[in-house]
A and B are shown apart, each in its own frame.
Chain A
């Protein structure tokens, strides 16, 4: 190997020099320079930071729900009822039946020795505070299940369409188009009404309905990204070294194409929760009394004409829902800005 010395090495030395100077963090190593720029860009604008903070608060609420609102009865997801009377009681009303244990934060923060209905009760004496706190878990659950399932369906169909092309592509994308022409919330409503007698009242009928009619956007995005990635040289190089089709698709193309889809998915969580609340408001989904924001809102239906007196049934769950969706939208907006090549270098 004496010939090794005859190779000019200027190129290598230059690289050695630049390498020691440039600090590459572990995050950049994992993500690569492009994705790293995107991730760091996400934490730069005030709007996106507010978004992340909102989401973080909701995550903490979901995790610490048993501390914030100690469960009453065997199923914590069932909103505790203080009696059965129809008329809602306002915030601060005394809690008589099914009183929860008093957690450590309660007395110092509110000054009360006894548990009261912090945000009032809804029709049927369901406690609104409990509905909101435990409903956070329902929100994350529905959002994540629907988004993961729709992304999975979209990515699988979209990548098969893009990678194989030809009639496979045509067939899959025409089916996608047909699904896109169907009005989303109406189809979800109809389909979950059909599913409810079969599956019973639970989260699943609206979830399945929303998954069935919610995957098309992801399929289209991933398809267009794969179409551009699969023309890149490294895909040809992988084919030229004999790599199998499936491996090329999943190891070489998808990791390079998936990022925009993930951004869209993060935006999707807010929309899904909003859609689920709408279905829930219309009375589809979980059994009555399940901790779920849409359902708490639906308790206000009979009192809409006298909302000046019973505003708390609408305002508290409504605000919660608004903040939740706003959090995801702010994060999604920031992601869109960072990803948009025309916005690059600005802000």
Chain B
């Protein structure tokens, strides 16, 4: 098997707000192998984006603060790097694509200038080289008349094309890891499909590892090798994509997959939903964060927070209850 590229352990991030300290990420740990795609799913506010921004030290500080953890990347802890070192990594070895392509490009700069920026920064290209490479990249992501379109401003591009530009920029310095933060959420469904297809094709051509953050379980199923489910700032279940969909073990994951609309559903069955709202974490939870919404909840769930434990080779879950038998785990 290929080697480990990124190893995150015990990552904790907090935000200071007028109402108190919000514990957004509470000890997230995962590994990413070369060429692997990890899907990170969970509902809004569960800490998906904050975890990934923390790895690149991109959360605004203050009010945000990374209080604990390490993120080992090629033998170095990203979280211990100073500003200059981490800037070398950002956009170079690890790059990001963001949710909303309509706002992720600078409206008063031409596409060509924006694309040239990381190339000149990380690859040491001059203007001519950067331009030539930008044309190649735009062609790679399927934008016609690429050389002409470099002179255009973002408002002359459609949403789908802007996201292609964002992806082209993110891939321009041949990163080893691409972090995609809900890259398809702001696009309509047909464009979503194009973007997912594009990323899959580029992954095969370029061989980078991908962390794909989303709350769309369908997209994850089509692109990820492994999936981590997050809730309340924790990873509560992690498994290979097939295992997770076929055999979800955490009550939250079961609820998520159960709430997908099914095309084969017979009759007038109501769509399943998980009762309640995700918690606002003003304290680090001592109980299982999902316990108020869980139908398997036990006394232990309310007093102790379960840790992520392996139940077989490619499946980890953080739950005191074995949801298959319904009894408490040892």
Chain A residues at the B interface, C-beta cutoff of 8 Å? 3-4, 6-12, 14-16, 19, 24, 29, 32-34, 165-166, 232-234, 236-244, 251-252, 255-256
Among candidates A15, A165, A236, A244, residue contacting B157 with C-beta atoms closer than 8 Å? A15
A241-B169 in contact (CB<8A): yes
Among candidates A6, A19, A32, residue contacting B153 with C-beta atoms closer than 8 Å? A32
A7-B198 in contact (CB<8A): yes
Distance between Cα atoms of A174 and B98 in the complex (Å):
36
Question: How big is chain B's contact interface, by range?
Answer: 35 or more
Interface residues of B in 134-155 (CB under 8 A from A): 142-144, 153, 155
Distance between Cα atoms of A29 and B170 in the complex (Å):
26
Encode contact with A along B85-118: 1 for CB under 8 Å, 0 otherwise: 0011111100110111001111111000000011
Q: Which 4 pairs across A and B sit closest by C-beta, in order of nearness?
A: A241-B91, A242-B91, A242-B90, A233-B103
B62 contacts chain A at the CB level, 8 A cutoff: yes
Give the chain A neighbours of B99 by CB distance below 8 A.
233
Distance between Cα atoms of A4 and B146 in the complex (Å):
14
A11-B106 in contact (CB<8A): no
Distance between Cα atoms of A240 and B90 in the complex (Å):
5
Give the chain A neighbours of B142 by CB distance below 8 A.
4, 7, 9, 12
B90-A11 in contact (CB<8A): no
A236-B190 in contact (CB<8A): no
Distance between Cα atoms of A11 and B143 in the complex (Å):
10
B98-A237 in contact (CB<8A): yes
Give the chain B neighbours of A243 by CB distance below 8 A.
87, 91, 117-118, 121
For B113, give the chain A residue with the smallest CB separation.
A251
Give the chain A neighbours of B88 by CB distance below 8 A.
242
Among candidates B90, B96, B108, B144, residue contacting A16 with C-beta atoms closer than 8 Å? B144
Distance between Cα atoms of A147 and B291 in the complex (Å):
62
The minimal Cβ–Cβ distance linking B236 to chain A, given in whole angstroms, is 27
B104-A233 in contact (CB<8A): yes
The minimal Cβ–Cβ distance linking A204 to chain B, given in whole angstroms, is 36
A32-B107 in contact (CB<8A): yes
Distance between Cα atoms of A242 and B95 in the complex (Å):
9
A234-B161 in contact (CB<8A): no
Among candidates A232, A237, A239, residue contacting B166 with C-beta atoms closer than 8 Å? A237
Give the chain A neighbours of B104 by CB distance below 8 A.
233-234, 236-237
Question: Given A32-B107, A33-B155, A11–B191 Cβ distance below 8 Å?
Answer: yes
Interface residues of B in 174-201 (CB under 8 A from A): 190-191, 193-194, 197-198, 201
A237-B96 in contact (CB<8A): yes
B106-A234 in contact (CB<8A): yes
Give the chain B neighbours of A255 by CB distance below 8 A.
106, 108-109
Among candidates B107, B155, B170, residue contacting A256 with C-beta atoms closer than 8 Å? B107
10 chain-A/chain-B pairs, Cβ below 8 angstroms:
A8-B190, A165-B62, A239-B90, A240-B58, A240-B96, A241-B170, A242-B90, A243-B87, A255-B106, A256-B107
Among candidates A15, A234, A239, residue contacting B158 with C-beta atoms closer than 8 Å? A15
Question: Given A29-B153, A233-B100, A242-B92, A7–B109 Cβ distance below 8 Å?
Answer: no
Give the chain B neighbours of A29 by CB distance below 8 A.
153
Question: Given A233-B100, A243-B121, A252–B158 Cβ distance below 8 Å?
Answer: no
Among candidates A8, A15, A33, residue contacting B194 with C-beta atoms closer than 8 Å? A8
A19-B106 in contact (CB<8A): no
A242-B121 in contact (CB<8A): yes
Give the chain B neighbours of A252 by CB distance below 8 A.
106, 109
Distance between Cα atoms of A243 and B118 in the complex (Å):
7
For A10, give the chain B residue with the smallest CB separation.
B190
The minimal Cβ–Cβ distance linking A262 to chain B, given in whole angstroms, is 13
B156-A19 in contact (CB<8A): yes
The minimal Cβ–Cβ distance linking B78 to chain A, given in whole angstroms, is 13
Give the chain B neighbours of A238 by CB distance below 8 A.
106, 117
The minimal Cβ–Cβ distance linking B107 to chain A, given in whole angstroms, is 6
B56 contacts chain A at the CB level, 8 A cutoff: yes
B201-A3 in contact (CB<8A): yes
Distance between Cα atoms of A238 and B113 in the complex (Å):
12
Distance between Cα atoms of A10 and B144 in the complex (Å):
12
B289 contacts chain A at the CB level, 8 A cutoff: no
Give the chain B neighbours of A3 by CB distance below 8 A.
201
Distance between Cα atoms of A29 and B105 in the complex (Å):
16
Question: Given A19-B156, A251-B109, A256-B106, A242–B87 Cβ distance below 8 Å?
Answer: yes
For B158, give the chain A residue with the smallest CB separation.
A15
Among candidates A10, A242, A251, residue contacting B118 with C-beta atoms closer than 8 Å? A242
Distance between Cα atoms of A271 and B235 in the complex (Å):
61
Distance between Cα atoms of A110 and B109 in the complex (Å):
55
Give the chain A neighbours of B121 by CB distance below 8 A.
241-243
Distance between Cα atoms of A342 and B264 in the complex (Å):
50
B64 contacts chain A at the CB level, 8 A cutoff: no
Distance between Cα atoms of A239 and B53 in the complex (Å):
11
Distance between Cα atoms of A12 and B166 in the complex (Å):
16
Give the chain B neighbours of A32 by CB distance below 8 A.
107-108, 153, 155
Determine which residue in B108, B193, B194 has the highest number of CB atoms from chain A within 10 A of its CB, and name it: B108
For A13, give the chain B residue with the smallest CB separation.
B144
